[in-house]
Every structure is written in C-alpha cells, then in structure tokens.
Structure 1
C-alpha cells in the first residue's frame, strides 16, 4: 500500500530540485556565457548592459582559425595530451599494482610520498622543471612538457588505480603464475583488463588535465610548441582584452573535453566509484 504524500515530502523534493537546478546553473552558466560571447559582435560585447538578444556572427571563429600556426598549436595540444594520457595510464597502473601486491622496506614512506606529491602546487615545482629543461636544452620541446605533465599527474592516478587493484584477489595472481604466466604477462593480459573501468577514468582525467594545463606550458614552451591554453592568454593585451577572440578560442578548447566527458561518462562514473576503497 502506497504511503500518502505529505507536505513535508513535497517541500523536501521542491527544495531538492531547486538546489539541484541552482548547482547546474552555477556550472553551466559560465560555459553558456563564453559560447554566446564568442558569437557576438564587438558592439554587443562592450555595451554597459549585457545583451541577451543579438545577431550571431562567425567572424570571431574565422579570425581564430586564420591565426598563424593555429593548426600547429592544436596539433601540439593533442600530441601532448595524448602522450601524457598513455604514459600516465600505463606507468600509473604499474606503480599501483606494485604497491598493492608487495610490501617492501619503506613501503609506508613511498605511499605517503605519492599522496603528498599531489599537495605541492605546480608553481613550487616549476623552477626545477625549467632548470632541468634548460640544462638539457629541452625548452620549447613537446618532450619536456609531456614529462612535466606526467610527473605532476602521476601521483593522483596511482592513488586512484590502487583502489582497483586492491579489489582483485591475490588468488588470481597465483592461478595465473601457476598456469605459466610471467609477471609481465600477468600484468598486461590479466590485470589491466580487470581494471578497465579504472583505466578509462584515469585516461579521461589525464587527458582533460593535460589539455587544459596552462602554467607548465606557459614557461616551458615557446613559439613552436605552444598549446591552446597559452595561445588564449595572448588575447589579453596591455591596453584591452580581445573578448571575442578569447571566448572563441576558449570555446574551441572546451569542446573536446565536453565531447570526451559525455561520450565516456558511464565509464568515468563507474571508474571513480568502483575504486573508492581505502588506500
């Protein structure tokens, strides 16, 4: 027998959906405003009152696409983000697997160091990365940017994937070794497929982080290896800000992250929740 709907329940659900809508608007409205501003003409952008009804124009995007070396900057962003994703996924899984399967001298210190490494702000690590790159002549190369992104993003991925490996019973390892698998075969052919949801979540988070990262890219790159976040900052001048070009470039930068997140949200949610165990 169904329970009667009370005024308290109605009030609760009304309040719940009101808060939910407010939270959604809080996160969606900046994206909406950036996208609409990128379609406005200059006169609509610099008015005293916000213009909600305007005649859309694609001129801002045409200016962005006609920038010198825009295709190179886009290519740099994809190459760096893709390389960082592959490196972090594999080596993060290796480290997480080792930490969950073996106890060794200094195990607790290593685990603490991995967790603590994520607490350092990027600006604190930036001087050491720049000195390292300049000594080796690697400034303005994609390799040093991939290295910096991978080093900074790896601790979080190790921490996340460790939860997945902890859920896999050790009996599976023993059975595979008894059947003749080597350690590498065990890891590559059995362990990695078993933590596929975690790898998917790690790949998404790694790609989005590297794709949007600005500070390392600003300092470690020059003209030939710039990424899109650095190019966006160049629309901010000493006298004025080119809001139309800046928002058009920002919209282009946002689109891949949105597409990847929506296309893989099932794996992302499953991956983030399935490994939610104590480290």
Structure 2
C-alpha cells in the first residue's frame, strides 16, 4: 500500500468516525440529560443556566414514581402483554415469513409492508369497538391482541427477508430424504434462521414495550402497561421534570439491558441476514 492509499484509508476512517459521532451524539446527550434530570431536585431542574451534574444526587424522584403510581403492577402488565404479543407474533410470523419467502408471493409482501407502515393508531377505534362488544376493554387480553398489530408485521417482514437469503437446497434435500414440508421447516429452516428470529423478537419486543396509546385507551385502570407511568407523572398545573425523567428512565432500562446483553446476537443476525447466495 503506497502513501496515497494509506492517506485515503485514514481519511475514510476519520470521516466514518465523525459521521458516527454526529449521528449518535444527540441520542447520547438526550439520554444523559434524562439521567441528570432524574437525580436532581426540582429547583435544580428548573434552574437557569441549567445544572447538569446533580449536587447532591437524590433518589426522591424515583421514590415519588413508586409512591404515586402502581409501578410494580404496570411492570408486570408490561411483561405479560409484551411477552404474550412477541410469543404469539413469533409463532405466527415465522411460518408466515417462510411461506411468503418460499412461494415468492410479492402481493403478500406488499400487504405486510402496508401493515407495517400503517400507524397503529389507525387500528385503535375498530379495536375499541370490537373489544367493547366482547367486554374485553380494560383487560390484559385486549392489550395482547392489539399489540399483535405491531409485532406480527415486524416479525413477518424481518423473517421474510431472512428466509429469502437462506439456500433452499438443504430443504429440498430433506424432502428427498422423506421429510414432510413441515419437518423440513422445523428441522432445517428454523435452526438456520435463529439469528433472524432473535432480531425479529428483539425489534418486536422494543416496539411493543414502548407502545403507549393502546395501553391508555384499552388498558383501563388495572391493565395499563409501564409507559403509562410516564403519562401519570404529568399534570395540568405543571410538569414535574424529575419524576417524569425517572419514569422514562425506568421504562427505558429493560430495553437498554436487553440490547446490551443481546448485542452480539443482533450483530451476528444482521451480518448473516445481509449475505445472499
């Protein structure tokens, strides 16, 4: 490698690093500002010029969140709703994505894309009417079923693209050896698609966990999920920035932990999914 190529390589790396910093720094700044707000009292939160470092740090905002909200119940509801929606979504979405990919049905792919692009708020009124007639408003089941509108299109779209990148020769060989199409799917296609399943599960979990509107409208008082705790930290008189930031941090924490623990699987899945034969 001559000097010119070396300089070009260095310049590309510097430009890439600058682009990453430019794109990521606002999100990091907002996260640390939320972290700062959650550990400061209201006097420091309303101070001008802003006080960034808490002096001293306080846990009063977190105490207020747990005292004024049934936070533990919201957390349990979130786990049940998100876990149920992701589990059912994977059970439905993986075979659906496989079938669309192997049959090369472009029209069904377009329908899935439209379902993915349609705002979830568009389904709210029809779902509310249906659940009201079935007396399911205010129950966890209403939230699980409504969250399938979010999870299934994501899972089907991700798995459809992933199965398209897998070679079909192994499945054909299994069929020749006497396997049924279902056995070929279970024993050949699904193990090969594990990285894609991880990605689909994590993405659907994130979108379902962060959903707010379905929880407020369909959840009622006892079946609301965790994002409702953020809403309950706001009032008509004023915004309590400390409890609001503490609630937002507690809602974000499970997603952050899952992403950190599964980052290797995410990278492996994205890398494997990008390989085409």
* TM-score, normalised relative to structure 2: 0.90
2:31 alignment counterpart: 31
Count how many residue pairs are aligned between Structure 1 and Structure 2.
Answer: 275
1:74 alignment counterpart: 75
2:107 alignment counterpart: 109
1:186 alignment counterpart: 184
**Correspondence 1:177 to 2:175:** yes
Gaps of 5+ in 1: none
Measure how far apart 1:22 and its partner are.
2.7
2:201 alignment counterpart: 203
Work out the CA distance in 2 between the residues paired with 1:21 and 1:151: 35
User: Aligned ranges for residues 71-220 of structure 1 at < 5 Å?
Assistant: 71-102=72-103, 107-220=105-218
1:260 alignment counterpart: 258
Measure how far apart 1:208 and its partner are.
0.8
SS of structure 2 residue aligned to 1:225: coil
Deviations 1:184-237 (CA, angstroms, capped at 9, x unpaired): 333223221110000000111011111111111121111111111112111111
2:231 alignment counterpart: 233
**Correspondence 1:3 to 2:3:** yes
Measure how far apart 1:56 and its partner are.
0.2
Work out the CA distance in 1 between the residues paired with 2:147 and 2:62: 29
Contact 2:78 2:225 in 1 (8 A): yes
Gaps of 5+ in 2: none
Work out the CA distance in 1 between the residues paired with 2:270 and 2:7: 36
RMSD of aligned Cα (Å):
2.3
1:40 alignment counterpart: 40
Contact 1:161 1:275 in 2 (8 A): no
* TM-score, normalised relative to structure 1: 0.89
Work out the CA distance in 2 between the residues paired with 1:94 and 1:14: 44
Measure how far apart 1:112 and its partner are.
1.6
SS of structure 1 residue aligned to 2:3: coil
SS of structure 1 residue aligned to 2:117: coil
Measure how far apart 1:52 and its partner are.
2.1
Measure how far apart 1:149 and its partner are.
1.3
SS of structure 1 residue aligned to 2:220: coil
Contact 1:129 1:148 in 2 (8 A): yes
